[in-house]
């Protein structure tokens, strides 16, 4: 009877082996969270109030900012409670809910980056048809499809995890409820969880990375064929911030996904947990900075906003 082996709550132990340094570790994470919230909310406000930014590229950026700030909010406040107040208990159902939102929102972020790559492809390869291809209804449908894809693929995580028996205890060596971290606490066979998790990672991340790669291959071909050096420079500059966002997101994500399944025994556990937290914190923190520094229209919008005030 698995219901008798389902704990009422889990204990999130934080970063195993670094408990004495929890307070110091919390400071940079708190600082990053403040930057992420202020930066992403500022971008959303700017894009919604500046008519010059009412374009597909910036709509997708606003969607990315909303996803980022929601993603880090699902984990960082709880993490800081562990570090500062030693509040390590999390209700079983709340843990499943946090696990769902973390993985759904990371999938959503990947999907939005893919949509932004397609946006750059249309803007550079079909500039005259850009406004007719990427209309507001098309943007809304693309965003909705990305959201529904994440929901439908991640919902089984909760059911697969809930069916497992937890007779070894209820302590999770992590700062948040990650799918495989929770599954590994059980005393049952979690092979289905591992296989399905890897399949979802390939379906979402693999598909999105394939689309991004194809988009930038076509963009590179189009840019190289331009006769004007200034035109090539301008085309490349419009993609720089997006390429930075892709690198920031996918490098720690791939590390986290594959070390959980293939190389976890060769990497110290505290290193894995730190990378997993950076995987959730780096994109929300750095994306507003990257886009603010690399996008002239956003810089101009910020200047106009402050001058208006």
Q: For 229-265, what is each residue's pLDDT tens digit? A: 777 777 777 788 888 888 888 887 777 766 655 655 6
Q: Which is nearest to 95 in space by CA: 147, 157, 34?
A: 157
Q: Which two tokens stand for residue 303?
A: 């200047």
| pLDDT value at 214 more than 90 | yes
| pLDDT value at 227 more than 80 | no
Number of C-beta neighbours around residue 249 at 10 A: 25
Give the total residue count for the chain: 309
| pLDDT value at 225 more than 90 | no
Q: Where are the beta strands (DSSP E) in 80-196?
A: 89-91, 171-172
Average pLDDT value over all residues in the chain: 88
Task: Show the DSSP H helices in 163-228 as ranges.
Answer: 179-183, 191-201, 207-224
Domains and CATH numbers, the chain: 9-295 (1.20.1070.10)
- List strands edge to edge, sheet with 89-91: 89-91, 9-12, 171-172
Number of C-beta neighbours around residue 197 at 10 A: 23
* Per-residue pLDDT tens digits for 97-121: 999 999 999 999 999 999 999 999 9
Pairing of strands 89-91, 9-12: antiparallel
């Amino acid at each position: 009877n698995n219901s008798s082996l389902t704990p009422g709550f889990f204990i999130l132990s934080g970063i195993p082996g670094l408990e004495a340094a929890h307070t110091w570790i919390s400071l940079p994470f708190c600082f990053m969270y403040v930057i992420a919230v202020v930066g992403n909310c500022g971008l959303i406000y700017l894009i919604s109030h500046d008519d010059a930014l009412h374009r597909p590229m910036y709509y997708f950026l606003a969607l990315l900012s909303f996803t980022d700030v929601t993603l880090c909010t699902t984990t960082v406040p709880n993490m800081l409670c562990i570090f500062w107040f030693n509040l390590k208990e999390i209700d079983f159902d709340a843990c499943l809910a946090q696990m769902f939102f973390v993985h759904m929102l990371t999938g959503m972020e990947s999907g939005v980056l893919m949509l932004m790559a397609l946006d750059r492809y249309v803007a550079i390869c079909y500039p005259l048809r850009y406004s007719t291809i990427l209309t507001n209804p098309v943007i809304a449908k693309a965003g909705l499809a990305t959201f529904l894809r994440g929901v439908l693929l991640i919902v089984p995580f909760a059911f697969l995890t809930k069916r497992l028996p937890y007779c070894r205890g209820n302590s999770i060596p992590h700062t948040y409820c990650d799918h495989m971290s929770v599954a590994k606490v059980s005393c049952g066979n979690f092979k289905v969880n591992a296989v399905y998790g890897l399949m979802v990672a390939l379906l979402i991340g693999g598909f999105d990375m394939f689309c991004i790669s194809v988009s930038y291959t076509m963009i590179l071909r189009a840019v190289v064929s331009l006769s004007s050096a200034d035109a090539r420079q301008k085309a490349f500059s419009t993609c720089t911030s997006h390429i930075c966002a892709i690198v920031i997101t996918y490098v720690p994500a791939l590390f986290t996904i594959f070390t959980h399944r293939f190389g976890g025994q060769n990497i110290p556990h505290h290193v894995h947990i730190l990378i997993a937290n950076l995987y959730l914190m780096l994109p929300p923190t750095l994306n507003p900075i990257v886009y603010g520094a690399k996008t002239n229209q956003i810089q101009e919008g910020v200047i106009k906003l402050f001058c208006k005030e």
